[in-house]
Structure 1
Amino acid sequence: MTHKVIHPDGWLPAKGYANGMLAKDGTLHIGGQIGWDGNKEFVSDDFIGQMRQALLNIRAIVESAGGRVEDVTRLTWFVTDKGEYVAAQRAVGEAYREVFGKHFPAMSMLVVAGLVEDRAKVEIEATAHLG
């Protein structure tokens, strides 16, 4: 087997996608995470609450694979409202550091017209290297 599906214990099943795929070489690809918890329930309707939850989800997936947030090497952010993100810079930084500490991997941010889940304001995908 060249890869392993990573799915945190207690989360509802992922249907039609995987939350994480761990390759034989230790590369962990994490699918886009949004502001819902392991029960697929949104924790908030505000940007900061959703962003924090998406990052918590990424951390849970990395830890389920045996890693830590410091193993994350890339984050790609998709946001639906650039103005909301820019206006909340201080809160964004605080929420980010609550989850990832002072670990800042390579990052990209794209502004998108919408996400598949209508309530979602942000989606974040990640790559980590374990081992």
Structure 2
Amino acid sequence: MLTRLATFPGMAASVGPFSQAVVAGGFVFTTGQIPLSSRTDDRPADFEGKVRQVLTNLQTVLEGAGSSLDHVVNATVYLSDRSQEEEYRRVYAEVFSSRAPALTSICVGIWDFSFEIQCIAVMKEGSSL
């Protein structure tokens, strides 16, 4: 069974033809989350705030899809400025602590966002959509 989840309460509306998450085969695949809150013009000013907002968005999507940050098995991080890697890793480690998933970090130019993350998580046991 394949379930596509386009929007989640409290998050900015998608700006393209994609799903925020797809649930398939007991896994949740998320779209890259960017540092926006409930409106597309509402962005944290400092980089740490951006990282925290992205991780909050990721948590919202995962929980809405029947998973959680505790169930993330793989994450891909896109960073636009390598000099901010240490700061992102500090916040990321704080959020994921000892349950750190497999991780790939890539430094690229990503529109006007400095940080984006996507992940794959397993569904919570007994969870269904």
Q: State the TM-score, normalizing by the size of structure 2.
A: 0.82
Report the counterpart of residue 21 of structure 1 in structure 2: 22
Output the amino acid matched with 1:35.
P
List runs of 5+ in structure 2 lacking aligned partners.
none
Structure 1's consecutive aligned runs of 4 or more residues displaced over 4 angstroms after TM superposition are none
Match of 2:110 among 96, 106, 115: 115
How many aligned residue pairs are there? 123
TM superposition shift of 1:101: 4.3
**Are 2:74 and 2:121, in contact at CA under 8 Å, matched by a contact in 1?**
yes
Distance across 2 between alignment mates of 1:74 and 1:42: 28
Report the counterpart of residue 121 of structure 2 in structure 1: 128
Question: For the structure 1 residues 44 and 105, does the alpha-carbon distance in structure 2 shift closer, same or farther, using more than 3 Å as the test?
Answer: same
Distance across 1 between alignment mates of 2:13 and 2:93: 29
List runs of 5+ in structure 1 lacking aligned partners.
none
Distance across 2 between alignment mates of 1:13 and 1:44: 17
Corresponding position: 1:47 with 2:47: yes
Question: For the structure 1 residues 71 and 56, does the alpha-carbon distance in structure 2 shift closer, same or farther, using more than 3 Å as the test?
Answer: same
Measured on the aligned residues, the alpha-carbon RMSD in Å equals: 2.0
Distance across 2 between alignment mates of 1:10 and 1:35: 13
**Are 1:47 and 1:85, in contact at CA under 8 Å, matched by a contact in 2?**
no
**Are 2:12 and 2:37, in contact at CA under 8 Å, matched by a contact in 1?**
no
Q: State the TM-score, normalizing by the size of structure 1.
A: 0.81
**Are 1:42 and 1:50, in contact at CA under 8 Å, matched by a contact in 2?**
no
Distance across 2 between alignment mates of 1:9 and 1:100: 23
Cα deviation 1:27-83 (Å, max 9, x = unaligned)? 111011111113223432332111111111111111111222111111101111111
